[in-house]
Structure 1
């Protein structure tokens, strides 16, 4: 599951890089503004999903590790500790049975042994069920558990013999049996219980380290993605602003003011387009103003020429009419 989450995160990262590459590649090209906005919003949405996905994945991994610690590692460690404590407590009780002579004082020790035997059986059974049910049980755990059962079976006859001799007040026999037979079996039995307990403690520590590592990794990844999202957001904003400003040639209010002046018939102004692209809106408005100004000048020049020609024709007509009148009066 963890590997699937990692692959999914890598897929999101490659997809994010592709979107960023598209913005950089086409930001200055002839992409329509609506397409730029769609790509930009898609990129930011993708980054948001990526951050949320990584956060959810990290939380799930952390919860899974914590569940393993709470529901598996801790109970198994407690069972292993209970097994070791039961063995040690029984050995203390059997020693007391050997040393004590008062039956009233021996009876509680016998009951103590019985309680510890019941506790041991319950703990051993519970741990065995967990090992059988848990797919993650290691081979080392299974081996130590089986060895513990073998050593218990080997120690029980010596333990029963010492207890029987102690209850019969045969102290010398009970002491000799305890030293010669029970003590070696007891040491091996306790050592096996200690080894199983140490193994469970180690697994618990590894699970805790894995949980901490998952939390640190999720924190680092989310922090990195937040930084990437911030950088991409700034980059997208700069590219979009630069693209729109390149198309407009300046602030939209300036373009609106120029268009308003032209619409009002005012062509007697100039716009500095030296820092603008030739195909920008303001540069195009300036070219339109210059063209209109030229057209008006040409029309005005043509009108003056026509007016001058009409005046000459009118003068010619007047002269012709005067001479005609002079000729008519001479006749």
Structure 2
């Protein structure tokens, strides 16, 4: 198409250039002919005419001299003849410079050759008339002078006719050239008009087919699409698949589909971001409560650790007392009374130890429950709680061992109390049973040593539990910070989603739902705080957090947001109860 249009335009331009060039050449030729006609031929015709008129006037002056006897008049006529001859000489000199044609040169030669004899004969006739021989002068004029005059006049007339003929030829040639030029240029102009009209029609038709509609209609449709108005679908002509209007219609359809999908997704994102923000807000509050509960638990474990250390000190002191009692028993019966008092002290201490062991048993039971709950929560946490699940399992195993040791110690303490009571009853028979008492005290010393060892192990285990609780406290504080960051990110996502909804609301679709979108966004933004705590969940038991790896704090915000969102969707993410 572009090549054909270029060829058509080029041909039109070539015809126009040809017309202009031909007109220029023709005008130049006509100008040359006109110049030749005006400045050469007509000038020569005028000169030859003047020359003939001068010759005729000279002849008339000569006849006047012949017929007039007035000397003054004769002299005047002679002067006039002399002036006209001078003019003829000047005219012939000018003609001599401009005559170039052979025929004109021949005639000019005849004029020059016969002019002198003609002037001489005429002078002779004048002279005869001046002398008074009028009759002879008249006869001479009619005879010889007229013969020479006829030759000169004929040469002048022939020269004038020749120049006139040449001028006529130039004029006729100019007329013919002008007529032919008019016809030719008219034809070329008509051809150029036809080609230009055809090119214009072809171009208009091609543009109409390429655009698919009038430029004003297409511009209005594109302006509506540019302004976001997609409510009025564009309709192309049947079978039109490649015009600008058809492509704009497809673009409008695609853009309408994209805007509709973006609008729906932005509304969903706005609603989800609002729910995430609300869930993060609830999670932040529960995380703070969890951190407070863990601080209390850490304080309690610190007190328990102090109690166990005191128990270990007491067991160590009991061991020393048992060793002292064994030494005293070896010294003899004189210290039996002291032994009785010591045995009573031992009985009292044993009861206290039994109480302490009961407390240790209860602590082990509570620790076992806490470890069980921690294992359950670690299992619920999945991959992130795997490390803490291992710690919880170890704590539970240690708690079970502590419980078994406590039970065994309690049993042994019970036996020791029974033996001490029997020793008190049989203290009067100390002399008989001194050996048995020494053995019993030795066994008591061993048992107390075992109690001290178990108390030390229990103190170490409780210390580990306290350390784990401290780590959970730190992790919970980190989680609280991450929850705050997640809440801020959720708020930012909420704002961006609302901005996206507002940005998409600029477009108007055929099934416009912008009002509903604003309503959804506003409803999501103003959603009330929802209590996610289950109705039957306990509220007086502290739920421990998970022990996370050190790299968990530096995970991308996107994973933290997804984790928080997943927790928010469970509906049972109460961190204050289990």
One fold, TM greater than 0.5? yes
Hey, what does 1:98 align to over in structure 2? 66
CA contact (8 A) 1:165 1:173 kept: yes
Shift of 1:77: 0.8
Structure 2, gaps ≥5 residues long? 255-578
Q: Which moved more, 1:153-162 or 1:266-275?
A: 266-275
CA contact (8 A) 1:255 1:281 kept: no
CA contact (8 A) 2:233 2:253 kept: no
Q: Does 1:212 align with 2:175?
A: yes
Q: Does 1:230 align with 2:198?
A: no
Q: The residue matched to 1:169 in structure 2 has which SS?
A: coil
Q: Given the alignment, which residue of 145, 149, 153 partners 1:182?
A: 145
Structure 1, gaps ≥5 residues long? 1-26, 132-136, 292-331
Shift of 1:123: 0.9
The one-character-per-residue Cα deviations of 1:241-265 (angstroms, maximum 9, x if unpaired) are: 333344455556469959x88xx99
Q: 1:250 to 1:36 in 2, by over 3 A?
A: farther
**Between Structure 1 and Structure 2, how many residues are aligned?**
256
The one-character-per-residue Cα deviations of 1:218-262 (angstroms, maximum 9, x if unpaired) are: 44444333322221111111222333344455556469959x88x
Q: 1:98 to 1:284 in 2, by over 3 A?
A: same
Shift of 1:83: 1.3
Hey, what does 2:108 align to over in structure 1? 145
CA contact (8 A) 1:77 1:201 kept: yes
Task: Tell me the distance in 2 between the aligned counterparts of 1:286 and 1:213.
Answer: 63
The 5 A counterparts of 1:187-266 are 187-251=150-214, 253=217, 257=221
Task: Tell me the distance in 1 between the aligned counterparts of 2:125 and 2:209.
Answer: 99
Q: 1:287 to 1:99 in 2, by over 3 A?
A: same
Q: RMSD in angstroms over aligned alpha carbons?
A: 3.8
If the length of structure 1 is used for normalisation, what is the TM-score?
0.63
Structure with higher Rg: it is 2
Shift of 1:79: 1.0
Q: The residue matched to 1:101 in structure 2 has which SS?
A: coil
Hey, what does 1:123 align to over in structure 2? 91
If the length of structure 2 is used for normalisation, what is the TM-score?
0.38
Hey, what does 1:310 align to over in structure 2? none
Q: 1:257 to 1:169 in 2, by over 3 A?
A: same
- Structure with larger RCO (C-alpha < 8 A, sep 6+): 1
Q: Does 1:160 align with 2:128?
A: no
Hey, what does 1:294 align to over in structure 2? none
Q: Does 1:85 align with 2:48?
A: no
The one-character-per-residue Cα deviations of 1:121-140 (angstroms, maximum 9, x if unpaired) are: 11111111111xxxxx4322
Task: Tell me the distance in 2 between the aligned counterparts of 1:178 and 1:56.
Answer: 57
